[in-house]
Amino acid sequence: MKISKIREMSSPELKTELSELKSELFKLRFSLATNGLDNPMKIKEVKKDIAKINTVLKERELKEENK
pLDDT of amino acid 59: 95
Pick the closest to residue 29 from 42, 16, 10 (CA basis). 42
> 60 is in which domain, residue-wise?
3-66
CATH of the domain at 9: 1.10.287.310
pLDDT of amino acid 33: 92
- How many angstroms separate the CA atoms of 67 and 61, rounded? 10
Number of domains within the chain? 1
- Helix-strand-coil split of the chain, %, nearest 5: 85, 0, 15
pLDDT digits (tens, 9 = 90+) for 21-61: 999 999 999 999 998 888 999 999 999 999 999 999 999 99
